[in-house]
Amino acid sequence: MTPEDLAGLIDLSILRPDATKKDIEELLRKAMQFPFASVCVPPSYVEFAGMFLAGRKMNISTVVGFPMGYQTTHTKVTEAKEAVEKGAGEVDMVMNISAFKSGETAAVEEDIKAVVSAVPRTVVKVIIETCYLTYQEKVYAVDTVVRAGAHFVKTSTGFGPGGATVDDVKLLKETAGGRIKIKAAGGIRNLDAALEMIEAGADRIGTSVGAEVVEDFQKKEELF
C-alpha cells in the first residue's frame, strides 16, 4: 500500500460543533495534500468547501440526521437533497437508533431507503452507532442497511460514548459478507489505529487527523 492508497481509504473529517470557518479552511488545505476519498464537512459548509476546492478533484461529503438520527424521514431527505444540490458527492446519515432499539426495523429500513432513493447518484453511508447496540442488534443493523440499498454501514458518529473498535469492524465485515462496504469512524487518532481498522476489514476510515496519518505512513515507508 502506498501513501496515496491509504489516503484513498480516508474521509478527512471535521464535524466538531465548535469548529470555526478557519478550522474548516485548515482542513480543506490539508485535504489538498493527498488524494483522500473525501473531505467531510458540516452541511452548512458544503457549498463553501466546493468553492474553496474549485478546480480540484476532491469529493465532498457531509452528514444527515447527525448526530442523533431521530429526525423525521422528511427532514433527512430534505437534508440529503440540499447537500447534494450544494455539491456533496457522499452523505453519511445516522439511522434512527431509537426506532431501531424499539424493534421498529421496518420503519428504520424505510427511513434509510427514502434517503437512498432521494439521492440516487450519491454514495450513502449509514451510521448505526455501534456503542449503543448489542451484538445481535449490530447484526440486524447491517442486514437492515443492506436491504435499504445503502453503500456503506458505518460504526459511529464520534459523538456517542464510544467509537469504532476492531471487534465491531470485524463483526460488521463478517455480517456484511461482501454485500456492503464498512466504514470505521470515531476515535481513530493515529496511523496504528487506522491500519488496525483497515486490517480488520474497514473499506473506509473517518478521521480528523487523516493528513497526519498519511504523513506518518509516508515517513515510515521512507525508513524502509
d(CA 104, CA 93): 18
Count of beta carbons in the 10 Å neighbourhood of residue 93: 29
- Of the listed 92, 111, 168, 203, which one is catalytic? 92
Residue 220: active-site member: no
Phi, psi of 204 (to 5 degrees): -150, 145
- Of the listed 30, 173, 181, 183, which one is catalytic? 183
Measure the CA angle with vertex 97, ends 92 and 99; round to 5°. 125
Specify the 3-state DSSP secondary structure of 3: helix
- Of the listed 154, 173, 181, 203, which one is catalytic? 154
Phi, psi of 19 (to 5 degrees): -70, 130
Longest dimension (CA), the chain: 53
Residue 183: active-site member: yes
Cell of 23: 478550522
Kindly list the catalytic residues.
92, 154, 183
